[in-house]
Structure 1
């Protein structure tokens, strides 16, 4: 049996080694039937490999998001595995509303994605000490949730035009409903809490956890009419509280004209625990900055 399992793993790696995004058919999709798509780096890169989970937006798909981002190509060039989860919902959104997905090992979409990471570690040569997530819109919301619910799995997260972890919580929402719950007050930037309240919401996702928390990089456009701009400040309030940070260092027109960068804690934009980017005049959503993501994750310089 062990020989068969080992052989199957080798076949999976060999199939994926061509640098093409491939559906992982033997991933069971539990507990919520999400599809797992992945690409592994060439054999010239010795493992174990970093893992980047790239989470798509509503009305999106794993294949579509892979085509609109450069993580697969960059994984081939820099030696990391990329996982693209594929939503099960008709509208392509991920469940960031149910108590199940907002609870560690609670049985929601967040646990299915964490299980994809486990699969990549066990069968694709992934490095469990270097696991990261990036996402846009619904994928940004899920990436924030992953940072809160699975801080033991993810080391750093980059979110594009999202909302705070738990902001979309809907009473009575279930992990199986389609579409997932939608919270208008959060989407419209009307759900305002103190930093302590937001931080407590994260801590309650994994009661008793006292380990290291993921580093966070947050992008948001001031002209976002889908997940409105006040959500940017609410995210910064949340993660600055979780990470025990205050008094950011702000730089205008950085890294682009009209953008303002805020660095919390020691270090620079690549190494600090929390970095925010406010993009003046940008709508929904902020274009992906893959090179910045990889530098923030420590995969590249």
Structure 2
């Protein structure tokens, strides 16, 4: 495949294939039509032959070349699969684009500490599951770790103890490093309400910003209405990429929660 792709990467060879797709042609005819010198044309044809894209027919003193479509059919099939996969997952590219746009929008503001203090977010979902099951997905460490991570990140530690003063810990890892948050639970009213803080820490253990979470679970027709309020404080200039990613990240994470709860209901 590498030989085929390499052969197709040259514009002169591509033009030769276009001409051969019409009908077999001699070296001299191809040189005339492409404007290349005959030795150059012969060299390009040899490269195409080595890649299996053309076949040579010695006809007395003449050498006529014909295109072989089979390798192109194989490449075309693989390209179609690649395109289909990219189209099916285009939403992931959109997520990155939105994240970049959010960073650019806040870049001018993040020139000092406390620049985003007081910023608030509200996320709401209706989950087709009873409140006690949704509550367990927040308070059972194993269940919490199964959904509380955006794509490409893996949860390495996840604790949310449902009692006043309980520990709140969230640690992700990816190929580039570790991302840790620590805090405390302030209120827990099973299975209705959960209030806690999480401070995002930098590599030195210094707070980048603190998120204050207020989660409410209400009975709804066919399931549970989830409301998650988040406001932030103690923001530093270095917190820009984290804060810019809150909106997109939490939407992804709640998608994960929805899938996890649905899977639990089917089990």
Structure index of larger Rg: 2
* Alignment TM-score, normalising by the size of structure 2: 0.23
Structure 1 or 2: more strand by fraction: 2
* Alignment TM-score, normalising by the size of structure 1: 0.21
Structure 1 or 2: more helix by fraction: 2
